[in-house]
Amino acid sequence: MNLLTGIFVFILGGLGLLFLALCARFYFGRRRAEQVWSAAQFPKLKDMGAVKQLSILPLIDDLTAKDGLSAESGVSYLIRADDTTILFDAGLNQAGEHPSPLLRNMEKLGVSLDQIDTVFISHLHLDHVGGMSYQSKRTFGLSGEVVNLVGKRAFLPTEMTHPSADVTVVTEPRIIAPGTASLGPISRQLFFFGWTLEQSLAINVEGKGLVLVIGCGHPTVQRIVERAKQLFDLPVYGVVGGLHFPVVDKPVQRYVGTDNWLWNPANKQTVKKTIAALKVHQPRLMALSPHDSCTWSRAAFQQAFPGAYRDVRVGELIEL
């Protein structure tokens, strides 16, 4: 066996061991996630109240509603719930720019940092915390350079820090503002990304019910809705955000970030089962983020929820 053959065999063996390690981690991680989910029992969140007005303005996503706005494969929404203004996630900023696509879009849409009192991070993935450098440091950032967030609250789903925001690590469901609550982190084991804790927002709109704002939907929207029903005796009026259905025209995402075995990636049957589960609740608003769901999935939701469905587009206000 010559030198080149030996190197090739060595590399191939290393890749095989890595794949076996990923499979073992995934197997035991999924078992752990199921055990955590089964054991999670929380009392009702009483006295949350309700908001009279709710608006959700997408600041970062794959699609834009107006020329001149930046699109990127990340998520950030500006949520106004009566007197509370929440920045939900911080986008991707893949190139590490300053000002970032998020800050540029905010300026063009007339949104200033002064208007924001709360930051809510759904989960610690680079396309939600402002980029890989922030993810690796277990923090979040709004741009390539430090943005001062003194005086602003930040609700984070796992152990994270921030140099200036008033950080609260959320470990269970909790009210964060009148009419607004975190559903608490729900765990999921992803094949490549590993153990993932994701929290979603539940906002009680007066006379309507709960609007669930979701970052990526890694725990599955079925479990997110089930957690909401466990915490509140309220109907689910709407679902806004990412549900992670890259089944056709997002080939890499079908495998990266999947919570299935690698040889059984995201598929159309999963989308159909999710639609069937959501139809039971008869939501009046269904707004799907394109950053992690393909055109086929979004078309399937549009067909299933006529009159209720809309794509999430940067600059296009969702208002109740």
* 34, part of any domain: no
Crossing angle of helices 268-279 and 221-231, in 10° steps, is 20
* 234, part of any domain: yes
Q: What CATH number does residue 137 fall under?
A: 3.60.15.10
Query: Given this model, what pLDDT does residue 6 score?
Result: 58
- Share the mean pLDDT of the chain: 93
| Confidence check: pLDDT of 10 > 60 | no
* 19, part of any domain: no
> Could you tell me if 159 and 138 are in contact, meaning their C-beta atoms sit under 8 angstroms apart?
yes
Instruction: Tell me the per-residue pLDDT of 66-87, one tens digit each, with 9 for 90 and over.
Output: 899 999 999 999 999 999 999 9
Candidates 265, 131, 138, 266; CA nearest to 197 is 138
* 129, part of any domain: yes
Instruction: Tell me the per-residue pLDDT of 259-280, one tens digit each, with 9 for 90 and over.
Output: 888 888 888 999 999 999 999 9
DSSP string, 101-146: HHHHHHHHTT--GGG--EEE---S-HHHHTSHHHHHTT---SSSS-
Would you call 223 helix, strand, or coil by DSSP?
helix
The DSSP bridge pattern shows strands 54-60 and 201-205 to be unpaired
What domain range is 132 assigned to? 43-319
Q: How many domains does the chain have?
A: 1
Query: Given this model, what pLDDT does residue 164 score?
Result: 97
Answer yes or no: pTM beyond 0.85: yes
* 278, part of any domain: yes
Q: Please tell me the distance from the alpha carbon of residue 239 to that of residue 7, in angstroms, as a whole number.
A: 52
* 158, part of any domain: yes
* 132, part of any domain: yes
* 17, part of any domain: no
Query: Given this model, what pLDDT does residue 9 score?
Result: 58
